[in-house]
Structure 1
Amino acid sequence: MNWCSTWPLFFLFLLPFIFVSTDQIGTFNSKIYSASYTLLSLFHFHET
C-alpha cells in the first residue's frame, strides 16, 4: 500500500480536530495529535 497517497486524506481528516482546539476539548485534541504523530512516525520508519 502506498502511504504517500494517503497523507493528504489523513491530514484533511485531522484538520478539524487540530483547529477546533478549545479549553473543553483541548485534552482530547492533544491525545489525537500525539496518537497521529505516533502513527506518522511508525509509517515513516516503516517506509525507511
Structure 2
Amino acid sequence: MDKVTNYFKSWNYKKHAKLCCTVYLTLFAIDMTLGYVVAKKVLPK
C-alpha cells in the first residue's frame, strides 16, 4: 500500500495522461465489443 501512496504523492501530468488514456481506451474497447455483439444479435442480416 505504501508503494501506491508514493505513486500518488509524485503525481504529475504525464502519469495523469497515462492513467486517463488507459482507462478511456479500456472502456472504449469494451463498449465497441459489446455494441458489436448486441448489434449482430438485434439487427437483421
Partner of 2:29: 38
CA RMSD of aligned residues (A): 1.4
Deviations 1:1-48 (A, max 9, x none): xxxxxxxxxxxxxxxxxxxxx713111100000000000000100101
Under a length normalisation based on structure 2, what TM-score does the superposition of the two structures give?
0.53
- Listed as ranges, the gaps of 5+ residues in structure 2 are 1-11, 40-45
The runs of at least 4 consecutive aligned structure 1 residues that moved more than 4 Å come to none
Larger relative helix fraction: 2
Under a length normalisation based on structure 1, what TM-score does the superposition of the two structures give?
0.50
Report which of the two structures shows the higher radius of gyration computed on alpha carbons. 2
Q: How many residues align?
A: 27
- Listed as ranges, the gaps of 5+ residues in structure 1 are 1-21
The structure with higher relative contact order (CA 8 Å, sep 6+) is 1
